[in-house]
Amino acid sequence: MYVAVKGGEKAISAAHELLAKVRRGDTREAELSVKQVEQQLPLAVARVMTEGAVYDPELAALAIKQSAGDLVEAIFLLRAYKTTLNRFGICEPINTETMQIERRISATYKDLPGGQVLGPTFDYTHRLLDFSLMAEGDVSEPSVADISPSAEMSAEPVSVEPVSKVLEILERENLMVSESDHQSEPTDITRDPITYPAERSARLQSLVQGDEGFLLALGYSTQRGYGRNHPFAGEIRIGEVEVSIVPEELGFEITIGAVQMTECEMVNGFTRHRDGEVKFTRGYGVGFGQCERKAMAMALVDRSLQAADYDEEVVSPAQQEEFVLSHCDNVEAAGFVSHLKLPHYVDFQSELELLRRIRAAEQSDSAKDMN
Amino acid sequence: MNPQTIREGYNFAYLDEQTKRMIRRALLKAVAIPGYQVPFGGREMPMPYGWGTGGMQVTAAVIGENDCLKVIDQGADDTTNAVSIRAFFRDLTGVRTTEKTEEATLIQTRHRIPEKPLQAGQVLVYQVPIPEPLRFIEPSEVETRKMHALEDYGVMHIKLYEDIAQFGHIATAYAYPVLVNGRYVMDPSPIPKFDNPKMDNSPALQLFGAGREKRIYAIPPYTDVKSLDFEDHPFEVQRWEQCCAICGSDESFLDEVIMDDQGAHEFICSDTDYCRERMANLEVTA
């Protein structure tokens, strides 16, 4: 008698043990610590925090270690952990204008108040493998004095004063559509599923958590003509901003900590608005840690999703809100794609049976025709 | 129940009580409007979307300390995902689990309804990948919600008619659409159409959870569930010429098992509990 082999508890736990072994790698090498991941892979940590929607570098680093470097898996781990957390309050809106600038650039002005601050960036590096990093031993501390600041570009922030925002400068000149606080309660996509057409707040929340690769491709497609929106990187800034809450029993604001954020504001093609005025339009991108590519891609897509506001014809994928928002989440997408690995015996059996029946019926029909 | 059996640091059944209450409110609405898809604030679960997170959230919201849980996938208790979900709830609720359909108060399923008829008081929780039966005809949620509101189901009948014109049969073998309580067209989840008649006037409560799509719907006990068809092409279920190679059943849903590289095959019951019980009875009478 043949007994069908189906997965059992033993097989599952053995598979998990194997995974743990693969993750550890060669035991003659020192084990990677969570602290090392947090300190030495900060950009991976930033992506996991942004798309995992939890600001906690240590837990993000743990997720990266646990997932053996699979960032989509790490994002998933962090999201699943987030589910279990209690909410004890809602913070006040963060103010990125008071950001302690670590990097701040504008592609629209050569120089501007607050200056151009390159900060830590891959920009302008030559993408040559640096074999010196393969060598063992301590790497000497980079010396700040080696970097010679030019008149309009410096590598280190020059002031700790609030640095005003590029797009606000344009707004004040009446050249830019204004972005104003509606004072209405923002939607919370973790509590209410998105309905279409979506509120801007729901849209931005969804894009922040959205997959960097997916948004990058969509943003790129707008640059290639599928829903062009003529972008300029008006301003990109990275740095720490304070987070504060107003406890009910106190009634005044107290600062509870600081988070590192990246913000990108795009200046987009101008258009004649319903009030008859001609102004630039804008797109907004933001994320935790240093996540410039993500923030830029998000800003491009945020703008392309405003098509309806400017009576633009919606013809390209990046302009279709329902298409973009219902497919941008990589936890959802990876889950549903991976579920194809689950058994589908029953459904497949049903299809098999139907196909055989259709073919049998057709064969008997054609046999009848022959007679 | 011994509370020590729950994994430390987690609430009973994983979700916090506020979330469970939110899901229960959605469930109540779903029961009140049979077949209607109720949006709910679906949470991330520690398993991937598409692997039963909707069903797990529904189970987590309704499970109590005195429940006895059965989990099946493809009809079987021992498929990997069923094993994993059962272990999850054992770990996070400490409730009793079973493989016997009649012992369970709560059954979470993927792709099958047990062969043994369900009883009053039992709850069947379905894992749903795509809750919208009209999705493959109309990709936009805005449009499909409108179609449900207006009871505009003509396109579904056209699709079924086109199948008949093209293949001589309705070419839907699973996730076969049903009309619930004479009002809403509903996706029964990807169960084979073989199982559709079991939904009709079932004494058990049937709950459906779609995690990724964030929808919940329900069929209360003793509700009319009709598989869509035409007078001259009445709905019919799959039949096999073979019977189960293990228990000899000729009335259960059979899985095909390939025996060798030449494609020789045998058929066995997809419902492992049903098959096991038949074998046990045969041994007793023998």
Does B273 contact chain A (CB < 8 Å)? no
Helices then strands, counting H and E runs in chain B, come out as 7, 12
Residue A283 lies in a domain: yes
Find, among A196, A148, A167, A193, the residue nearest to A324 by Cα.
A196
Say which of A1, A82, A353 has its CB closest to residue B238.
A353
- Average pLDDT of every residue of chain A: 89
- Average pLDDT of every residue of chain B: 93
- In the chain, the amino acid numbered B267 is F
Contacts with A344 from chain B: Cβ below 8 Å:
74, 111, 190
H or E element, residue B59: helix B53-62
The total of structural domains in chain A comes to 2
Residue A296 lies in a domain: yes
Residue A127 lies in a domain: no
Residue A37 lies in a domain: yes
**Per the CB < 8 Å rule, is B45 touching A80?**
yes
Determine the average pLDDT of the residues in A336-351: 92
Are A75 and A166 in a shared domain?
no
CA distance B78 to B276: 12
Determine the average pLDDT of the residues in B7-29: 94
Checking if the pLDDT of A145 tops 80, the result is: no
Q: How far from the centroid of its chain's Cα atoms is residue A273's Cα? A: 30
Instruction: Output the six-digit token pair for A205.
Output: 């929340």
User: What is the ipTM, given to two decimal places?
Assistant: 0.74
Checking if the pLDDT of A139 tops 70, the result is: no
**Active-site residue identified among B35, B42, B55, B75:** B35
Are A166 and A105 in a shared domain?
yes
3-state secondary structure of B209: strand
Provide the residue range defining the domain that includes A229. Answer: 96-120+148-179+192-333
Q: In terms of CA atoms, which chain B residue is nearest residue A72?
A: B48
- The CA–CA distances, whole Å, from B212 to A174, A305, B47, B256 equal 43, 22, 11, 30
Are A45 and A170 in a shared domain?
no
What are the tens digits of pLDDT across the range A40-79? 999 999 999 999 999 999 999 999 999 999 999 999 999 9
Query: β-strands B123-127, B205-210: how paired?
Result: parallel
Are A31 and A103 in a shared domain?
no
User: Per-residue confidence at A149, pLDDT binned at 50, 70, 90?
Assistant: very low
Does B198 contact chain A (CB < 8 Å)? no
Contacts with B167 from chain A: Cβ below 8 Å:
358
- The pLDDT score that the predictor gives to residue A255 is 96
Contacts with B253 from chain A: Cβ below 8 Å:
346, 349
CB distance A228 to A206 below 8 Å: no
**Per the CB < 8 Å rule, is A192 touching B41?**
yes
Are A17 and A101 in a shared domain?
no
Residue B282: CB atoms within 10 Å? 11
Are A166 and A60 in a shared domain?
no
**Per the CB < 8 Å rule, is A350 touching B11?**
no
Does B193 contact chain A (CB < 8 Å)? yes
Catalytic-residue membership of B41: no
DSSP one-letter code for B194: G
Instruction: Output the six-digit token pair for B126.
Output: 């379905």
Residue A230: CB atoms within 10 Å? 15
Catalytic-residue membership of B35: yes
Residue A53 lies in a domain: yes
Residue A260 lies in a domain: yes
Residue A224 lies in a domain: yes
- In the chain, the amino acid numbered A363 is Q
Contacts with B112 from chain A: Cβ below 8 Å:
346
Say which of A192, A338, A346 has its CB closest to residue B192.
A346
CA distance A294 to A330: 14
Residue A79 lies in a domain: yes
Find, among A13, A19, A7, the residue nearest to A73 by Cα.
A19
Are A283 and A224 in a shared domain?
yes
Q: How far from the centroid of its chain's Cα atoms is residue A125's Cα? A: 24
Paired with B17 in beta bridges are none
Contacts with A343 from chain B: Cβ below 8 Å:
73-74, 79-81
Are A61 and A157 in a shared domain?
no
Are A46 and A103 in a shared domain?
no
Are A225 and A246 in a shared domain?
yes
Q: A183 versus A327: which is more confidently predicted?
A: A327
Does B54 contact chain A (CB < 8 Å)? no
CB distance A268 to A222 below 8 Å: no
- The pLDDT score that the predictor gives to residue A6 is 57
CB distance B126 to B109 below 8 Å: yes
Are A174 and A220 in a shared domain?
yes
Are A325 and A227 in a shared domain?
yes
Å from B22 to nearest chain A CA?
9
What is the b/e burial string over B124-154, where b = at least 16 CB atoms within 10 angstroms of the residue's CB? bbbbbbbbbbbeeeeeebeebbebbeeeebe
